[in-house]
Amino acid sequence: MQLGLSSEDLAFQAAARDLIGRTFPKGDPFDGGRAHEQRWHAAMAQLGWEINKWPVAFGGPGWSATQHFIWERETTAAGLPAQVGGMGMGMLAPILFAYGTPEQQARFLPDIRANRVRWCQGYSEPEAGSDLAALRTRAALDGDHYVIDGEKIWTSGAHQADWMFCLTRTSQEGKKQEGITFLLIDMRSPGVTVHPIVSIDGRHMFNRVTFEGVRTPAANRVGREGEGWTVAKGLLTHERTGQAYVSLSLSLLARLREAAASVPGANGRRLLDDPGFAGRLSLAAIELEALAMTELRTLSEVAMGEAPGAQSSMLKLKGTEIVQRMTEFFVECAGPYAAPWFPEVFGPPETVGPDWAQPEMVRYLEGRAASIAGGSDEIQRNIIAKHVLRL
Ligand SMILES: Cc1cc2nc3c(=O)[nH]c(=O)nc-3n(C[C@H](O)[C@H](O)[C@H](O)COP(=O)(O)OP(=O)(O)OC[C@H]3O[C@@H](n4cnc5c(N)ncnc54)[C@H](O)[C@@H]3O)c2cc1C
């Protein structure tokens, strides 16, 4: 069995490293800000790699599963995102490939590709989260426009978004899944109001969004009226496949080993050498390797044109569990220095303890949300029980 990389894959790896090194040389690392994001996007775009997950028919580079794997590892090791463009790039584009009209594809995909327009996801409502099909935000056809009234909640990034892809209720008849329609809404439309929600980690990411008589052209409906549930379900599997967090966990594991080597444990040992800690860390590392293999298997099926299906629930569930465990290890390592640190609320903190420990409590708290976002753990277990185990 050949487990090493082929010469083509090694050449690809070298090209990836070259692009990363040229764009962010040592001494000028990626800082996550908008300017650096644009620099990274432009660098990838020179090679057509900014749309690395798009099908060849829509201009994608047609990477193999192994190339995707290499790209994920190389970009994560350099602290870079594997793609930029947020929910438009990763979530809406696959829907437009499958359900968009040629006009919708021509109108929206170029802006997503150029990272010119930010999208947010308007699914959840105060009474419709896990039971998403219970959503009530109403859209009524009035001539060639839909008129929308209602509210969405937990809308990540709505305060920065230009557009929303949104699930609306267009009929009360029949099964509740059948009366749902998928609409694209310009966030600057009169009647759209964004209300900020600050979360426990001190950050403003969430919002509540209200709609009062908001009009969107019927031409912005993706799929047929009443077909929104099918459209949304397809999108969710793409969202969940992207929530295995393998690269993130791998980079956290590497940093964690460094941190644990710098912290004293019991009996004069380094924490990293403490048998109890080291055993638990190894177990997490083994589970992470198994998850990485499962992700690779799924990516390879997706590359061959298959939909990720219920496997995406497994990836999400296990990936969430492991990334949360990493954040717990960090808090354990940091000990008292992991005290809550809310710079957005309290201003810059006085530094106490090692620098690496500073953001760990925020990361830990932020990590809790992963069990809920994109469908809670319990819902993923229900999906696995039904569609994989056939219970
Ligand atoms: C970080 C983050 C980002 C998010 N971003 C967005 C976004 O951009 N757009 C958007 O639309 N939404 C977003 N959400 C919302 C998210 O999709 C919902 O929070 C999620 O679907 C759960 O819904 P809920 O909060 O209403 O909880 P509920 O559905 O009220 O669930 C409460 C509890 O009951 C359990 N439960 C519910 N039903 C069942 C069942 N049938 N069987 C077993 N247990 C059950 C749940 O697991 C949970 O523990 C985001 C959430 C988070 C945490």
Encoded amino acid at 136, one letter: R
Distance 125 CA to ligand 1 centre (A): 10
Ligand 1 touching residue 154 (CB < 6 A): yes
CA of 374 to the centre of ligand 1 (A): 7
Amino acid at 360: E
Q: How far is the CA of 373 from the centre of ligand 1 (A)?
A: 6
Q: Cβ distance 91 to 99 under 8 Å?
A: no
CATH number of 118-227: 2.40.110.10
129 lines ligand 1 (CB under 6 A): yes
The atom number, within ligand 1, closest to the CA of 158 reads 8
Give strand pairing partners of 215: 147
DSSP 270: B
Q: What is the DSSP string of 66-112?
A: HHHHHHHHHHHHTT--S--SHHIIIIIHHHHHHH--HHHHHHHHHHH
Structure token digits, residue 89: 């790039």
Output the residue whose Cα is nearest ligand 1's atom 31.
Answer: 130
Question: Strand, helix or coil at 230?
Answer: helix
Q: Confirm or reject: Cβ of 207 under 6 Å from ligand 1.
A: no
Q: For ligand 1, atom 29, which residue shows the shortest CA distance?
A: 130
Does ligand 1 come within 6 angstroms of the Cβ of 303?
no
Assess whether 239 carries a catalytic annotation.
yes
How many angstroms is it from 320 CA to the middle of ligand 1? 14
Q: Which two tokens stand for residue 15?
A: 């090209």
Q: Helix/strand/coil (H, E, C) string of 290-329?
A: HHHHHHHHHHHHHHCCCCCCCHHHHHHHHHHHHHHHHHHH
3-state secondary structure 15-51: HHHHHHHHHCCCCCCCCCCHHHHHHHHHHHHHCCHHH
Residue 165, beta-bridge partner list: 121, 184
Ligand 1 close to Cβ of residue 248 (< 6 A): no
Are 109 and 93 contacting, i.e. CB atoms less than 8 angstroms apart? yes
* 307 vs 66 pLDDT, higher one: 66
Q: Which of 50, 74, 125, 239 is catalytic?
A: 239
Q: Residue of the nearest CA to atom 44 in ligand 1?
A: 378
Cβ 72 vs Cβ 247: under 8 Å = yes
Q: Ligand 1 atom 7: the closest Cα is on which residue?
A: 155
Which residues have a Cβ under 8 Å from the Cβ of 225 and sit 6 or more positions away? 141, 170, 171, 181
Q: How far, in Å, are 56, 67, 327 from residue 62 at the CA level?
A: 5, 9, 35
The helix (run of H) or strand (run of E) holding residue 142 is strand 138-142
**Torsion over CA of 25, 28, 29 and 31, rounded to 10 degrees?**
-150
Measured in Å, residue 62 CA sits from the centre of ligand 1 at 34
How confident is the prediction for the chain on average, in pLDDT?
90
Query: Can you give the pLDDT at residue 1?
Result: 38
CA distance 73 to 81: 10
The answer to whether domain 118-227 and domain 242-388 are alike in fold is no
130 alpha carbon – ligand 1 mean position (Å): 5
Output the six-digit token pair for 33: 């800000």
Cβ–ligand 1 distance for 243 under 6 Å, the answer no
Task: Kindly state if the Cβ of 126 falls inside 6 Å of ligand 1.
Answer: no
Asked if the model's pLDDT at residue 344 lies above 70, the reply is no
Ligand 1 pocket test: pick from 92, 124, 198 the residue with the most ligand atoms within 8 Å of its Cβ. 124
Residue 144, phi then psi, degrees to nearest 5: -100, 25
Residue in 285, 167, 295, 282 with CA at minimum distance from that of residue 232: 167
* Centre of ligand 1 from the C-alpha of residue 153, in Å: 10
Report whether residue 369 contacts ligand 1, using a CB cutoff of 6 Å: yes
Indicate the top mutation candidate among 320, 376, 382 to test ligand 1's pocket, ranked by most ligand atoms within 8 A of CB.
376
Q: Which range among 63-72, 245-254, 280-289, 373-382 has the greatest average pLDDT?
A: 280-289
Residue 280, token pair as written in the block: 């638990």
Residue-wise burial string across 294-307, b where 16 or more C-beta atoms lie within 10 A, e elsewhere: bbbebbeebbeeee
Beta-bridge partner residues of 211: 150, 192
- pLDDT band per the 50, 70, 90 thresholds, residue 77: confident
Q: Where along the chain do its domains lie?
A: 7-84, 118-227, 242-388
Residues in the chain: 391
Taking CA atoms, 294 is separated from 86, 216, 241, 384, in Å, by 24, 41, 11, 15
Between the CA of 379 and the centroid of ligand 1 the distance, in Å, is 9
Q: Given CA atoms 361, 366, 372, 377 in this order, what sign does their dihedral have?
A: negative
* Closest protein CA for atom 40 of ligand 1: 379
Radius of gyration from C-alpha coordinates of the chain: 22
Two tokens at 150? Answer: 């209602």
115 lines ligand 1 (CB under 6 A): no
pLDDT at 239: 63
pLDDT at 281 over 90: yes
CATH no. for 242-388: 1.20.140.10
DSSP 3-state assignment of 333?
helix
Give pLDDT, residue 349.
58
pLDDT in tens, 156-210: 999 999 999 999 999 999 999 999 999 999 999 999 999 999 987 778 999 999 9
For the residues 238-259, what does the mean pLDDT come to? 83
Beta carbons within 8 Å of 276's beta carbon, 6+ residues apart: none
Q: pLDDT of 116-127, one tens digit each?
A: 999 999 999 999
**Ligand 1 neighbourhood includes 124 CB (under 6 angstroms):** yes
- Lowest mean pLDDT segment, chosen from 1-10, 35-44, 331-340: 1-10
| Structure-block tokens of residue 29 | 């690392």
Nearest CA to ligand 1 atom 3: 373
Average pLDDT (279-289) is 96
Q: Output the pLDDT for position 209.
A: 98
